[in-house]
Amino acid sequence: MARRATERPPTRHALTGWPTDGLSYGGDYNPEQWAPEVWREDVRLMREAGVNIVTLGVFSWGLLEPREGEYDWGWFDEIIGLLHESGIAVDLATPTAAPPSWLLHAHPEVLPVDAYGVREQPGGRLGWCASSPVFREHALRITTALAERYGDHPAVRLWHVSNELGGGNGRCWCDVSAARFREWLRAEYGTVEAVNAAWGTAFWGHTFADIDHIEPPRSEQHKVNPGLFLAYERFSSDELLEHYLAEAAVLRAHSEAPVTTNFMVGSGRHVVDYSDWAAHVDVVANDHYTIVDDPVREQDLAFAADRMRGLAADRTPWLLMEHSTGAPSWQQRNRAKAPGEILRNALAHVARGSDGAMFFQWRASTAGTEQFHSAMLPHAGTESRVWREVVRLGDALRRLRSIAGSPVEPAKVALLVDEESAWALQQGLKPHRALRYSRETRLWHRVFWQRQVLVDVLPVDADLDGYDLVVLPTLLVVSDAQAARVDAFVRGGGTALVTYLSGVVDETSRVRGGGYPGAFRDLLGVTTEEFRPLQADETVRLSDGGEVTDWSEDTNLHGAEAVVTYADGDSAGRAAVTRNAVGDGAAWYVSAQLPLDSATRIADRLIDELGLPRAVEAGTGIEAVRRRTPDGDVLFLVNHSDADETVAVSGRSLLDDTTFDGAALVPAGRVVVLRESAAE
Ligand code: GLA
Ligand code: GLA
């Protein structure tokens, strides 16, 4: 069965180059909110801050095309001209995230419909269904008009298709979507018999007589067939991708500039399957916002950055398209950044391969939904800490320009993530609703991050050559081919760490019989005969002293050795963590939701046994990554703790020309970036 309906193009669009000289610095710029006098001040202050690129036009559709087919380019010509004269590149957005009122008024049928049949009201954003031919026609008309007018403009150095596709219109349950879904099913499965077989529809008498009888999973999700559920998630991602591709094709027909769209990787969000999307963008770009409730928000930042690197072809630089200078306005409690945190967060992305640091947005809005969202130029103006730090960051990025285009040092650890597993686990049909996919992916990333061991966060189908360790955290949905690749990796001398529920179902969401974790049990030398989900107030002690929450299993050994066992509870004496020697390689299994201390012990043993490289040896609050430039390695040391730390390194600081001979002091909350040299 073909896994995807969307074919990839035979070749990548040739990348004409990075949009800016050196690292990119700037943000979303929404000049339509301001009078033209303000634009002149904006451009002057952008230059003062070292801004060299802005994202323009994200929400401008209704002003560029005030009535159907009537365009008003005057103000846009002026602002693009002004930016260009000042040497500021334009990342030009197609304005399709913001359908104009005349379109929604004339065609309310383009608005998305929720799972209960309620049509969304105008007034938000991305208020359109990805399957709507009416919306597509209008979107491609404005995209064509924009591309015809500015496709050759020298200021336009990057195209930004729409905005955060799926953020608001990730799923639509309207009848048009339903009809498109049936077409998608025909392409994917061919016949209704194949659908019935794949989804096991005999259960609850759900056998379909015809593909035309299949509806999207509209009702409460726990009543939905898991195969249908997963198919609709894939379909929805493919539909949005089709929309992206349609706009991108128009842009490419009129312009040589690279094309991107801003992904939303971070804080456990899994809206679309970016592993399918990444090959279709010329610059992989991400929006990242730290979440106040996240106890290790800097690690979410690192995880997202490592994922972007994993999505970028050849691990080439990617671009941080948006983050914030301070508090957003959409969280329950919005948090301002601490002094120095703007630089610390921005450079942590740069350390991990972003060739720039951009923000939402340039100037703080005084009106509208996000009137209290932070910006590069805050309401207080230039007499503010935020502005001073923004100027300082611009200076830092200029000083670091020699690293532009350089790769991050190669990682030896790969951590596989998969939207399909995330969707399946989040659906709530799985054996325990307390489980969260992102908890496991973050845990197994964190234990290496805190030891300065670089991890590439990779799509499940990525090439594993060159890695020493591959980690599969709760990779629930696994095809035979994917399992075979992990098997071959271990038999070729690699080490795999597989955690609970991985490989338990195949790509149609069907359970693999004969003992869990079906796809990997031979490789791991274990079988789990029964899951033992834990209750809210229940913990189980482990032989290493750790305490398990939420998930345990009754696992039997078939060749593997027990490394850690359950010390109490109904699984007492059984293996919680196992290791199976396979040729020169090894396959580890973790059957429990481990606490940080137990997971750290496993990571430390793997770091030791496999000789996994630590960028430096420092405390858990220090993040350390190298970028490889033609003039030698550039080491980023980021101190996330509230204590100063001294790290054993030598070199010259790129931020302020200090030299370090054998030791560098990294003050609490600060960043040191140095070009390394051998100790004297
Ligand atoms: C009810 C139903 C069964 C099955 C069980 C278990 O008893 O009659 O068909 O669904 O619940 O959930
Ligand atoms: C997203 C959007 C921006 C803005 C920011 C801040 O990233 O792309 O337009 O709304 O969030 O909330």
Is 328 a pocket residue for ligand 2 (Cβ < 6 Å)? yes
pTM of the model: 0.96
Q: Is the per-residue pLDDT at 2 higher than 50?
A: no
Give the residue-averaged pLDDT of 538-547: 98
Query: pLDDT tens-digit profile of 309-336?
Result: 999 978 789 999 999 999 999 999 999 9
pLDDT score recorded for residue 5:
38
Tell me if 360 CB under 6 Å of ligand 2: yes
Residue 13 has pLDDT above 70, yes or no: no
Which one, of 60, 59, 42, lies nearest residue 51 by Cα?
42
Ligand nearest to the CA of 262: 2
pLDDT digits (tens, 9 = 90+) for 212-255: 999 999 977 668 899 999 999 999 999 999 999 999 999 999 99
The alpha carbon of 210 and the centre of ligand 1 are apart by a number of angstroms equal to 27
Which pLDDT belongs to residue 601? 98
**CB of 325 closer than 6 A to ligand 2?**
no
Residue position matching structure tokens 């370090």: 660
Which of the 8 DSSP states describes residue 468?
S
Q: Indicate whether 8 pLDDT > 70.
A: no
User: In the predicted model, what is the mean pLDDT of residues 663-677?
Assistant: 97
- Examine the pLDDT at 3 and tell me if it is beyond 90: no
Q: Is the CB of 286 under 6 A from ligand 2?
A: no
440-470 pLDDT, tens digit each: 999 999 999 999 999 999 999 999 999 999 9
For residues 6-18, average pLDDT: 45
**For ligand 2, atom 12, which residue shows the shortest CA distance?**
328
- In this prediction, residue 127 carries a pLDDT of 95
Sheet arrangement for strand 651-653 = 622-629, 632-639, 671-676, 651-653, 659-660
Distance (Å) from CA 204 to ligand 1 centroid? 10
Per-residue pLDDT at 433: 86
Residue 167: pLDDT over 50: yes
469 DSSP β-pair partners:
413, 495
pLDDT score recorded for residue 6: 43
- Residue 29's nearest CA partner among 50, 53, 48 is 53
Please give the angle made by the CA atoms of 230, 235 and 238, to the nearest 5 degrees.
130
How far is residue 500 from each of residues 353, 475, 532, 606, 677, measured CA to CA in Å? 31, 8, 11, 18, 44
Task: Please give, one letter per residue, the 3-state secondary structure of 497-512.
Answer: EEECCCCCECCCCCEC
Q: With a cut of 90, say whether residue 269 has pLDDT above it.
A: no
pLDDT of residue 222: 65
Q: Which of 29, 30, 164 to mutate to test the pocket of ligand 2 (most atoms within 8 A of CB)?
A: 164
Ligand 2, closest atom to CA 322? 7
Q: What does pLDDT average to over the chain?
A: 95
| Residue 154 pLDDT greater than 90, yes or no | yes
507 pLDDT more than 70? yes
Q: Which residues are catalytic?
A: 164, 322
Q: Is the CB of 355 under 6 A from ligand 2?
A: no
DSSP for 564-592, written as a single string: EEB-SSTTTTSEEEEEEEETTEEEEEE-S
Share of the chain above pLDDT 90, in %: 92
Is the pLDDT at 554 greater than 50, yes or no?
Answer: yes
User: pLDDT at residue 7 above 70?
Assistant: no
The fraction of the chain above a pLDDT of 70, given in percent, is 97
Cα-to-centroid distance, 218 and ligand 2 (Å): 28
| Angle at the Cα of 645 from the Cα atoms of 640 and 646, rounded to 5 degrees | 140
Q: Write out pLDDT tens, residues 18-65.
A: 999 999 999 999 999 999 999 999 999 999 999 999 999 999 999 999
Backbone dihedral angles phi then psi of residue 318, each to the nearest 5 degrees = -125, 180
Helix (H) or strand (E) segment spanning residue 635:
strand 632-639
DSSP string computed for 417-458: E-HHHHHHHHTS-SS-TT--HHHHHHHHHHHHHTTT--EEEE
How far is Cα 531 from Cα 558, in angstroms, rounded to an integer? 18
